[in-house]
Structure 1
Amino acid sequence: MRLATAEINLTALATNLARIKQIAPNSKVMAVLKANAYGHGLVTIAQHLQGADAFAVARIDEALALRAGGLTKPIVLLEGFFEASDLPILLANNFETIIHDEHQLAALEQANLDAPIATWLKIDTGMHRLGIEPEQLEQFYSRLKATQNAKQDVRLMTHFPCADDTKNNKTLSQIQHFSKLVGDKIEQICLANSAGIIAWPDSHGDWIRPGLMLYGVSPMLDSVGSDHGLSAVMSLKTRVIAKRSIPAGERVGYGGRWQSQEATQLAVVAMGYGDGYPRHAQEGTPVVINGKRYGIVGSVSMDMITVDIGAENDSVQVGDEVEMWGENLPVEKVAQCAGTIPYELLCNVTPRVSYQYIKDKK
């Protein structure tokens, strides 16, 4: 019996990429694959995104794993490099780097390289995480143009902190500020993350950086992927491993957190925080068994969760499949019940979970 399984639908992945291109038809796509492709499997996902123009990762080891997996597309390091000794590795593997501070720029200028590296100059327009100050743009831009260690086409980018909220004018202000800063520079630009792609068309630019939406999940507040024409790529599934009846008044699980108000039946499912399911999921957080939603009760354990299926339920049996989130239950809804965000749930799936890659039957 296959228990905890992350079923990864590669047809849905392709559908999402097509939808992204439909939304931003004039932009190149930099597919964001950091954190093991948001928990979906770095190399396999990349191998099935041949329609993307480039890949983006956070760390150099992620980029090296893509090259080891046979991927030849451009790869952008979203955090840049951390040591001068990284630069020969970037050059040898044709990695492109973000430049976001003086330390990186100086290291690049002083390096002894056989050929130039492609660079992306990141400007902080309001995220206040990585990026040069707006008033530093002209200096950094001129220095990158002058050094023989950087390719002449210096691409320009920024990042949005609030693009998921269409009622917040900060994103519009950032777009306008970035446009004014760039001025008449004839360079490729990249502003839009997933939320920017969906909600802020003026941010599409030459490049877009879809991350979460590639995997069929909404980056916007108070919506799910299907609201934007996206399909869930990951379905986290397991099985019912026990079924038992309890009388009214009994307490269930560690700490007796939940008490039955009437006689009922519980389905015990093989899933827990040891698999990456959120330990703080509230009572009533839904799961799907045989096409019907039921609520979890009691504390989430390391390996098991109990589900209240009702007193007279004969349709749920040991061995039945349970969907914890996925095609029939948006991960966004589970995240709300756990007081977190879907990014965290997807990235927290543990190595104990088996991965199964599938394609829809035509």
Structure 2
Amino acid sequence: MPLPRVTATVDLSAVRHNLQRVREFAPQSKVMAAIKADAYGHGAVPVARALAEAGVDAFAVACLEEAVTLRDAGIATRIALLEGVLSAEEAEEAARLDLEIVIHDRWQLELLASLLPTTALRVWFKLDSGMHRLGFPLAEAPALQAALLARPNWRLQGWITHLACADDRDSAMTSAQIAAFDAAMADIPGARSIANSAGLIAWPQARVDWVRPGLMLYGASPMPGTVGSDLDLKPAMTVASRLIAVHEVPAGDSVGYGATFICPEAMRVGVVAVGYADGVHRILPTGAPVLIHEQRVPIIGRVSMDMITVDLRSLPRAAVGDAVTLWGPGLPAEEVATWAGTLSYELFCGLTNRVHYRYV
């Protein structure tokens, strides 16, 4: 089999290790693992299987299509639809697949009540504690409870809210959101879920009945200024390509589109078989690092569709065929994302179908 141009190697033992770290942060909580967006670009089915083997309590996906993929693969673990159902057809399919439907708006409540009046449904209610994206106003919690009591075939799984600024340890908004949610729930029965990855790391009071980790399961830190290893998380993904050319370029000559990099001296320049068509951000500037022989060398010039160029002056032994790591152990995705002016979430989710996935 030909050697792939670009490979994303996903270490499933690292995913299981990171699940254990979640449990150490929140030992009294059940864990709903967020594997939406194809497990943040890591591959939903293999990641789900690894987490199911490790005893995760439930999965969270964004939409019905993601849940169908898991069920078709034989994943029997509980699955919650974070955006709920978007149509009558989706509602019927969700009921057939025994999915847990997060209801976040009145129209969804009315749809389910009219369409499936006698069907046994598992439901969560999402409440808006201040993020103002999805969810019922907190003041409507008693009315939602009454609506639930009027439908004995509905089984309440719990009440969910989401934190807007959990990655800021000093956020007054997060404190206010948690307090408001707790107050609204004071006389309402049912399990609670507040914390995403940042919430369960930084906000002990958000570690309630359920936690919903996402990014930290994949070994990256959601907290600014930190990387996963600072939290004893193991990066699950390594993205690598290889050198396909090495040139001696004279001083004063330019490299790449737009001639944005001018060689300050005669220098060795390497060409790596990866570009923005594979998911490497075009905005990565000169100076952003890659790893060759476990040594950092800088990208020079513009990222193009299929290639990047790198400065090999500090690595005279580099040769055609050498592996080049874009991110992974030794070069955290969080750091690469900072160079690109984005987040590790987007790096992971942005890999394209040209990348070959390998699971270990």
TM-score (norm 2): 0.97
Deviation at 1:85, TM superposition (A): 2.6
- Following the alignment from structure 2 to structure 1, what is the Cα–Cα distance between the partners of residues 291 and 226? 20
Alignment of 1:289-304 (within 5 A): 289-304=292-307
Q: Which secondary structure does the structure 2 equivalent of 1:187 belong to?
A: coil
Q: Distance in 1 between matches of 2:145 and 2:104?
A: 11
Residue in 2 aligned with 1:42? 44
Partner of 1:317: 319
Cα shift readout 1:236-282 (whole Å, capped 9, x = no counterpart): 00111110111111111011111111111111111100100001001
Give, in angstroms, the shift of residue 114 of structure 1. 4.8
Give 1:191's match in structure 2, choosing from 183, 190, 194.
194
Give 1:83's match in structure 2, choosing from 87, 103, 118: 87
* Unaligned runs of at least 5 residues, structure 1: none
CA contact (8 A) 2:141 2:188 kept: no
Q: Which residue of 2 aligns with 1:177?
A: 180
Amino acid in structure 2 at the alignment position of 1:321: A
The DSSP-based 3-state class of the residue aligned with 2:16 is helix
For 1:228 and 1:313, locate their aligned partners in 2 and report how far apart those are by CA, in whole Å.
32
How many angstroms does 1:111 deviate by?
Answer: 2.0
Which residue of structure 2 lines up, in the alignment, with residue 115 of structure 1?
119
Match of 1:155 in 2: 158
Tell me which amino acid in the other structure corresponds to 2:162: H
Secondary structure at 2:121's aligned position in 1?
coil
Deviations 1:309-353 (A, max 9, x none): 11x743211111110001110001111101111111100100100
Unaligned regions of 5+ residues in structure 2, if any?
Answer: none
Q: Map of 1:8-23 to 2, 5 A cutoff?
A: 8-23=10-25
**Which of 128-137 and 230-239 deviates more?**
128-137
Match of 1:166 among 165, 169, 177: 169
**Partners of 1:5 and 1:236 within 8 A in 2:** yes
Shift of 1:149: 4.3
1:53 equivalent among 30, 53, 57: 57
1:328 aligned residue (324, 327, 330): 330
1:54–1:75: 8 Å Cα contact kept in structure 2? yes
Alignment of 1:1-362 (within 5 A): 1-50=3-52, 51-112=55-116, 114-151=118-155, 153-310=156-313, 313-358=315-360
**For the Cα contact (< 8 Å) 1:194–1:212, is it kept in 2?**
yes
Q: How far does residue 128 in structure 1 lie from its aligned partner after superposition? A: 0.6
Q: How far is 1:141 from its partner?
A: 2.1
Deviations 1:88-134 (A, max 9, x none): 21111110011111100111111235532111111101111000112
Task: Indicate conservation of the 8 Å contact 1:267/1:306, yes or no.
Answer: yes
Q: Partners of 2:252 and 2:149 in 1: how far apart?
A: 74
Amino acid at match of 1:201: P
Report sequence identity in percent.
45
Quote how far apart the aligned CAs of 1:83 are. 1.0
Aligned residues: 356
Report the RMSD for the aligned CA atoms in angstroms. Answer: 1.1
Q: CA deviation at 1:148?
A: 3.6
What is the rounded CA distance, in whole Å, between the counterparts of 1:106 and 1:113 in structure 2? 10
Contact 1:225 1:231 in 2 (8 A): yes
> Is the Cα–Cα contact under 8 Å of residues 145 and 188 in structure 2 kept in the other structure?
no
Displacement of 1:2 in angstroms is 3.3
* Cα deviation 1:291-314 (Å, max 9, x = unaligned): 10000000001110000011x743
Q: Hey, what's the Cα distance between the residues in 2 that align with 1:303 and 1:281? A: 14
The SS at the match of 1:265 is strand
Q: Secondary structure at the match of 2:213?
A: coil
Letter in 2 for 1:337: W
Equivalent residue letter for 1:33 = I
Give the conservation status (yes or no) of the 8 Å contact 2:142–2:188.
Answer: no
- Between the aligned partners of 2:299 and 2:306, the Cα distance in structure 1 is 14
Distance 1:137 1:185, change over 3 A: closer
Q: SS where residue 85 of structure 1 aligns?
A: helix
Q: In structure 2, the residue corresponding to 1:273 is in which secondary structure?
A: coil
Q: Which runs of 4+ in 1 moved over 4 A?
A: none
* Paired AA for residue 346 in structure 1: F
Partner secondary structure for residue 49 of structure 1: helix
Asked if the contact 1:237–1:322 (Cα under 8 Å) also holds between the matched residues in 2, the reply is yes
